[in-house]
């Protein structure tokens, strides 16, 4: 159970940080661009840690500890997240369709 939580937390945090960093670095100015760059770096670091826990970098770094061994849980978690996103988009589409027709 903890493996599912940690794997999805790290995956979503890494992706969201990189996307927010790119957005902030592109549209920001001055200090905002620096914050965007920091967000990108943090997202990439967490992404590498996630890939290590998922077993993709074990030949370079070694085996992760048991609490970060995501090998079996990554596929199940990603499928669950994709299912949740599709369900939310369908619900949002039905909601918008109902509002537009009313």
Q: What is the domain partition of the chain in residue ranges?
A: 2-101
Per the CB < 8 A criterion, the answer to whether 31 and 39 are in contact is no
Instruction: Place 45 in a pLDDT band, splitting at 50, 70 and 90.
Output: very high
What are the residues whose beta carbons fall under 8 Å from the beta carbon of 6, sequence distance 6 or more?
53, 67, 68, 70
Q: Tokens 């790290």 appear where?
A: 10
- Write down the pLDDT at residue 102: 66
Q: Which of 24, 43, 45 is nearest to 33 (CA)?
A: 24
Q: Give residue 46's pLDDT band: very low, low, confident or very high (50, 70, 90).
A: very high
pTM of the predicted structure, to 2 decimals: 0.71
Q: Report the C-alpha gap between 97 and 1 in whole angstroms.
A: 37
Whether pLDDT at 53 is above 80: yes
Residue 44 pLDDT > 90, yes or no? yes
Query: Looking at residue 22, what is its pLDDT?
Result: 92
């Amino acid at each position: 159970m903890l493996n599912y939580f940690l794997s999805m937390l790290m995956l979503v945090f890494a992706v969201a940080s990189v996307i927010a960093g790119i957005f902030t670095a592109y549209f920001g100015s001055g200090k905002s661009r620096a914050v965007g760059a920091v967000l990108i770096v943090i997202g990439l670091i967490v992404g590498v840690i996630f890939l290590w826990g998922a077993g993709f970098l074990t030949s370079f770094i070694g085996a992760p500890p048991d609490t970060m061994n995501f090998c079996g849980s990554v596929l199940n978690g990603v499928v669950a997240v994709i299912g949740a996103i599709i369900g939310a988009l369908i619900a949002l589409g039905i909601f918008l369709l109902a509002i537009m027709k009313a």
